[in-house]
Chain A
Amino acid sequence: MSNLTLKNLKKSYGAVEVIKGVDLAITPGEFVVFVGPSGCGKSTLLRMIAGLEVVTSGTIEIADRDVTQLEPYDRGIAMVFQSYALYPHMTVAENMGFALRLAGHAKPERRKAVEEAARILQIGHLLDRKPAQLSGGQRQRVAIGRSIVRQPDVFLFDEPLSNLDAELRVQTRIEIARLHQTLDTTMIYVTHDQTEAMTLADRIVVLRGGIIEQVGAPTDLYDDPDNAFVAGFIGSPAMNFLPCVAASANEVTVAGLTIALPQLQTQLRQGESMKMGIRPEHLNGTNGPSVAMKIDVVEQLGATAFVHGMLGGDLPLLVEARAMRPKAGDMINVPFDPQHVFLFDANGDRIR
């Protein structure tokens, strides 16, 4: 059991700073997901924790030990790569037992550890095969198995599901969640897929441009985002953002409609321009204020439908419609509960 602490961690490539001071404390056994768009620095941050990237400044502590300058093998970590990175010339058993072999463990001991990991992942029948003889999903299990065998303090996953097809991805995602319950070890998982982040994480770290935008439990980020970026990134489909103007201290006008927001603690300045955010799934209330929308496109999913349309001719809006079969070209009324409305200032920061 261990914990991991990042203190003011920075990384530059020449003059370009890609990680701009990250502070984070991860408690033992926690499943933490780094999520963010391409180029946000999430993989770099993971590779810095792994010891594959040199740290420009700041410190990394694993299990209360400063590992910033240590080689990867001295850090007590194991990593699963997006490309699986299995050694093609070794069998599955040799791949999984390689770390123990390097550490000087005897063959019977290695075999036992490999078989135990293979049992957990149900790959016992593959042990004598070479990676080339395995399917993508099997290779991914072997890669996970290789990291289990080492019994690390921290597991690192670098977009491990990206190379799998959609069905297998869902299945493997569930298995990783189950594995975390079984092993109860700290896991850090990097993905750009917010669905993976939401389903797997105890805590999500949302990154953008090399800084942490927000850290919190998946539901906290969903219910109470700190800024427009997090609000837009977490949740699928993404939140709608509409320009609005403060009509009074706790009222805003959006698309010609004035809405009272009694939940606001901040007093709004009348005439202030802001952005209003509301999630598509919160636009299907039965009462409350409503806006009229002309339907552009309908994505029918069976139980629900994603309805794309325009408010007042030029404001795009996405509505998740339940128990109705809207058609393109129709005008519909979209009622919503003001309780679900988020307000963001001109910088994108949340107004609570």
Chain B
Amino acid sequence: MAVNSKKERRGMWAAAVPMFLLALTCLYPIYFALNNALKDNRGYILDRFGMVSDPNFENFVTAWGRARFSEYFMNSVITTVGAVFVLLLVSSMAGFALAVLRFPHRKLVFVLILGALMIPVQVILVPFYQTIIATGLLNTRTGLIISYTAFFLPFSIYLMTAFYAGIPRDLTEAARIDGARFFQVWWYVMLPMGKPALLTLGILNTLYCWNDVLISLLVLQNERTLMVGITALRGEYTTNVPLLAAGIVLAAAPIVIIYLLFQRHIVAGIAAGAVKG
């Protein structure tokens, strides 16, 4: 967009300043964690806000080994990958069914799923926890994968339904005439065509699952995921802040990398969810 008049330029500046401050509030904690992770405990106590003078990676090694981060990391990877895979699979099928197929009470089913979007996790924690115990899924990765799937599915189905509703009906009909059975229409046509939406959903759900503390805290009580593991680095009376900072950096790194690689899709996905439907 070309900025021509003086008035417009002043307007741009007026908008830029608060945006810059907002960006700073996001970036400073990242800088703080990274900076202090490279200090030792003594260096941190002497100067918590100054730039690190003699960076060392001791904290990362300690966090990874002694604080069992390697185990937590595996738990996080397995539950996140598992949940995202199931989420994409189920939401793509459900989106196909809701957007393309004609079955009785289709709208009611969709409204119920949308309704589930409005229920905060915190409200149903008690029945959720009881269900997890009753089904014997407590302290299992499978339990956590199923829980993530359950909590993030409504939004995923909503997005896929909105996306598939925009695909011309002729395509599925052409596939049926070409000889595709019900399941083949989904596999050969709808699934590959849903790729942009699935990519966005994959990234968003990875962020949600990886960053989750609450659900994981309830389901995996003996084992831990990375985000819960970080809290264990806090002592009752004192906290080794550089070690905690190293843990935070380790936990956040994969997600930041994913975010940087796919940020265009994340924005596109949020916009798709907002406009269609």
Contact = CB atoms under 8 A, between A and B. Distances in A.
Contacts of A150: 178
Contact of B184 (A79, A82, A83, A102): A102
Interface in B142-197: 168, 170-171, 173-180, 184, 188-189, 192-193, 195
A264 interface: no
A333 to B, nearest CB: 53
Nearest to A87: B189
Contacts of A86: 174
Nearest to B176: A72
Contacts of B176: 51-52, 71-73
A72 B189 CA distance: 17
A132 interface: no
Interface in A48-85: 50-52, 71-73, 77-79, 81-83, 85
Interface of A is mostly: loop
A90 to B, nearest CB: 8
B173 A81 contact: yes
A51 B180 CA distance: 13
A83 B169 CA distance: 10
Nearest to B191: A89
Nearest to A73: B179
B195 to A, nearest CB: 8
A102 B178 contact: yes
Nearest to B170: A85
A146 B178 contact: yes
A314 to B, nearest CB: 47
A72 B192 contact: no
Given A83-B170, A87-B171, A78 B180 contact: no
Given A87-B189, A88-B193, A89-B193, A102 B171 contact: no
25 contacts: A50-B173, A51-B177, A52-B173, A52-B177, A71-B176, A73-B176, A73-B177, A73-B178, A73-B179, A77-B177, A79-B173, A81-B174, A82-B170, A83-B168, A87-B171, A87-B188, A87-B193, A88-B193, A98-B178, A98-B188, A102-B180, A102-B184, A102-B188, A146-B174, A146-B178
